[in-house]
Structure 1
Amino acid sequence: MSELNKKEVFVVADNILSPLGKTTAENFAKLKESISSVNQHHNTNISPLPFFASLFEKDEQFVKAGEHNYTKFEQLLIASIADALNGSGVDVRDKKTVLIISSTKGNISLLENQPMSEELKDRISLSTSADLVAAHFGFQNKPIVVSNACISGVLGVITAKRLLGTGQYEHAVVAGADVISKFILSGFQSFQALSPARCRPFDKSHDGLNLGEGAGTVILSTNEKHAQNIKLKGGSVSNDANHISGPSRTGQELAGAVKNALQDAELSIAQIDFISAHGTATVYNDEMEANAIAISGLQKTPLNSLKGYYGHTLGAAGLIESIISIQCVKQGLLIPTIGFKEPASEDKVTVCAEPTRIKAVNFLKTASGFGGCNAAVVFGK
């Protein structure tokens, strides 16, 4: 094994900022009570028809007004990063600290109400937002942007692990966020991918996804003083090369990412105690993911999806769901898949339908997205 792969990466701190709460603790407490933030909305600025989604209150501010006119997207990132950094002991002004931003659409909503100009092109650029966020905190290194559809959050974590493995950095702040706009909602409506009710991942009656707003931040480090913390043990990505919007018909490619992530973590399938699935509740994604889990030999491993609580938070999803899963390990409680009653794929996945006490050491987090992208990461004690 190379020296690069030998470096251990520890989770120092984290934050979830969602309509359920502004901290990880607040969010996990709501999930333990089976509270969902997915509700029906009648917002004609986003859609002429009612829709189900997880949204923040209209005009809610997350950062105090100051000299910079931060967008909602940037405010979410700043607020989430600030909470995660608080008390972490990580110095953002250290050249050994890198900032990674993950998002699918960033400030794309600015296109809806402004005429196209060179200034607007620059303002909607993800790199512009990343630079503003980095400057707000005083990061010394150029921030890295990861935008690869719905695996962006998980890919940001994998990118951090690889960068930390080189020794170039000692700490990585990985933050992801997305906000729901008319542009984004109409795109999913055009695919007929949205459910007319709260989504039901892996359930026989699943009929589409819900979208959600939110942000998540994970701070990672190779410093041995964090050695007692949860570790990021392995990760891998793959691509279906199948269709720009339709997932693999077999699940072989996601299964390949799972296999490589386990190899990277030096773990067997028997050592995975539960799976945090992507679980969007669209028929094709659930089927593909169920196939991949079965191919991987993990069909008996307890699995959950958190989309019924948060909706699909796009670039933040992989981070939010990883953080909740870390809490599941710490608190010995597996959060159930809300909305699940009857399996869509018999014998392929074991979906957790009730709060379950567990003694977990390791978990697998999977993600998939448009363009056929797949990612898998392994966290554990």
Structure 2
Amino acid sequence: MTEAYLSYNNIVSSLGFDSETVVNSIHNEVSGLQLIEDKARFSQPFFSSLIDEKTLKDSFANLKPEGDFTRLEHMMITSLNNVIETSKIPLTKRVGLIISTTKGNIDALDKNSKFPKERAYLSVLGHVIKDFFNVKNDPIVVSNACVSGVLAVAMAKRYIDQGVYDDVFIVSGDIVTEFILSGFNSFQALSSQPCKPYCKNRTGINIGEVAASVLVTNNKQNLAKEAVIILGAGSCNDANHISGPSRTGEGLFRSIKSAAKEAQISLDSIDYISAHGTATPFNDEMEAIAFSRLGINDKPLNSLKGYFGHTLGASGLLETIVGMHSLFNNTLYTSLGFEELGVSQPINVITQTTKKSMNIFLKTASGFGGSNLAAIFKKVNNV
């Protein structure tokens, strides 16, 4: 089987417009979450991590675009451009493009949008990005709730394993809109405070926005210093409820077992878990149960939602990129917002940013519709 590597990467977020700046902010326990009091966005105050509008417009303008582009397209193209330029890979027929998002250009449906409603189609978003970079192959658009970002990584690995592509660029993104906020508010899932994953005092999620990009490649030569091997991935649907996860963690349990089987490793060799940790009562409890059933609840674990909020379809890729840097830096980053354990099973939530020699990490994600995904990554030697 051909090895697939995660290599060059970029994050465009409230904490900065490149991965190193973002990870440095996380190291210093700086959160991008702020109280937003803007009735044009939502009828009540909410905590979110919003990308600075002026910085985004200026960065996008440097690319000398022609035509009109949505805010999400600004974010995604800015992020992906960084990775394409840094990797120096020509966009031939051997290069694929995967776009992952939950809601895409959902703001095109707003009454005051200057874009036609057709712009909200995910296929249109895919072709806008393809055409901007003149990618030779049609884009693959992945929209499977909140596992979309890391599912795109698993799909890219499959394409490389099967010899379809030598290189695959992935870009993930979602924006904060009234439509999305009102949806989560209707579930009574929005917190009026910064979120507290796995904490006894958690009261729900914050919604954030981000764009993240990465190169998946079969070429071990020209890799980024923080590159990792994708050892294995697994995805199982728990078929429980449209918005409620399995009470037994069955889908996540099976996903992790499947990923470990493909990776051909023992779960004992995992050094760190980058978990989903939305700070909702049901998600955090489900994850703790799944980790306990697998006997990995003693592994150091964090959720990055305290830094960005829940960035929907982009969250999995964003957190995978931070995990790559965590391995490279041999550093466990604190799970911001956590104070006191609030799940039924004991889990080892990271409470202090700490140096630790690491080799392998597990990334998990779960989402609406019962979706679950687990992926296992290992440091690349001699890089």
**TM-score, normalized by length of structure 1?**
0.95
Q: Which residue of 2 aligns with 1:250?
A: 248
Q: Deviations over 1:174-208 (max 9, x none)?
A: 11000100001000000111111000000111110
Q: Which residue of 1 aligns with 2:111?
A: 113
Instruction: For residue 345 of structure 1, report the CA deviation from its aligned partner.
Output: 2.3
Distance between the aligned counterparts of 2:150 and 2:362, measured in 1?
A: 11
Contact 1:291–1:348 (8 Å) recurs in 2: no
User: Amino acid of the residue matched to residue 276 of structure 1?
Assistant: S
Q: Which residue of 2 aligns with 1:364?
A: 362
Give the SS at the match of 1:164. helix
User: Amino acid of the residue matched to residue 332 of structure 2?
Assistant: L
Distance between the aligned counterparts of 1:316 and 1:86, measured in 2?
A: 21
Q: How does 1:226-305 map to 2 (within 5 A)?
A: 226=222, 229-305=227-303
Decide which of 60, 63, 66 is 2:60's aligned counterpart: 63
| Number of matched pairs | 373
Contact 2:288–2:344 (8 Å) recurs in 1: no
Q: How does 1:94-173 map to 2 (within 5 A)?
A: 94-113=92-111, 120-173=116-169
Give the SS at the match of 1:211. coil
User: Amino acid of the residue matched to residue 120 of structure 2?
Assistant: I
Decide which of 348, 370, 380 is 2:346's aligned counterpart: 348
Q: Which residue of 2 aligns with 1:174?
A: 170
Q: Which residue of 2 aligns with 1:215?
A: 211
Q: Deviations over 1:324-360 (max 9, x none)?
A: 0100100011111011111112543110010011111
Distance between the aligned counterparts of 1:90 and 1:296, measured in 2?
A: 40
Instruction: For residue 121 of structure 1, report the CA deviation from its aligned partner.
Output: 4.1
Instruction: For residue 129 of structure 1, report the CA deviation from its aligned partner.
Output: 1.1
Contact 1:278–1:305 (8 Å) recurs in 2: yes
Give the SS at the match of 2:31. coil
Give the SS at the match of 1:219. strand
User: Amino acid of the residue matched to residue 177 of structure 2?
Assistant: S
**Percentage identity across aligned positions?**
40
Q: Deviations over 1:235-284 (max 9, x none)?
A: 11111111011111110211100000011111111110000000000010
User: Amino acid of the residue matched to residue 307 of structure 2?
Assistant: Y
Instruction: For residue 140 of structure 1, report the CA deviation from its aligned partner.
Output: 0.1
Distance between the aligned counterparts of 1:246 and 1:107, measured in 2?
A: 25
Q: Which residue of 1 aligns with 2:38?
A: 43
Q: Which residue of 1 aligns with 2:18?
A: 23
Distance between the aligned counterparts of 2:374 and 2:37, measured in 1?
A: 36
Q: Which structure 2 residue ranges, 5 or more long, are not aligned?
A: none
User: Amino acid of the residue matched to residue 313 of structure 1?
Assistant: T
User: Amino acid of the residue matched to residue 314 of structure 1?
Assistant: L
Instruction: For residue 122 of structure 1, report the CA deviation from its aligned partner.
Output: 2.3
User: Amino acid of the residue matched to residue 15 of structure 1?
Assistant: N
Distance between the aligned counterparts of 1:68 and 1:376, measured in 2?
A: 39
Contact 1:54–1:211 (8 Å) recurs in 2: yes
Distance between the aligned counterparts of 2:345 and 2:248, measured in 1?
A: 16
User: Amino acid of the residue matched to residue 222 of structure 1?
Assistant: N
Instruction: For residue 11 of structure 1, report the CA deviation from its aligned partner.
Output: 1.8
Are 2:374 and 1:376 aligned? yes
Give the SS at the match of 1:145. strand
Instruction: For residue 295 of structure 1, report the CA deviation from its aligned partner.
Output: 1.1
Distance between the aligned counterparts of 1:103 and 1:156, measured in 2?
A: 10
Instruction: For residue 48 of structure 1, report the CA deviation from its aligned partner.
Output: 1.4
Contact 1:252–1:295 (8 Å) recurs in 2: no
Q: Which residue of 2 aligns with 1:14?
A: 9
Are 2:183 and 1:187 aligned? yes
User: Amino acid of the residue matched to residue 291 of structure 1?
Assistant: I
Contact 2:108–2:117 (8 Å) recurs in 1: no
Are 2:284 and 1:309 aligned? no
User: Amino acid of the residue matched to residue 40 of structure 2?
Assistant: N
Instruction: For residue 53 of structure 1, report the CA deviation from its aligned partner.
Output: 0.7
**Where has structure 1 moved over 3 Å in runs of 4 or more?**
226-229
Distance between the aligned counterparts of 2:48 and 2:256, measured in 1?
A: 29
Q: Which residue of 2 aligns with 1:3?
A: none
Give the SS at the match of 2:146. coil
Instruction: For residue 67 of structure 1, report the CA deviation from its aligned partner.
Output: 2.0
RMSD: 1.6
Q: Give the 3 Å change call, closer, same or farther, for CA 257–166 of structure 1 in structure 2.
A: same
Instruction: For residue 12 of structure 1, report the CA deviation from its aligned partner.
Output: 2.3
Contact 1:293–1:348 (8 Å) recurs in 2: no
Q: Which residue of 2 aligns with 1:76?
A: 75
Give the SS at the match of 1:379. strand
Distance between the aligned counterparts of 1:153 and 1:8, measured in 2?
A: 20
Distance between the aligned counterparts of 2:125 and 2:26, measured in 1?
A: 31
Are 2:330 and 1:332 aligned? yes
Q: Which residue of 1 aligns with 2:199?
A: 203
Distance between the aligned counterparts of 2:286 and 2:205, measured in 1?
A: 15
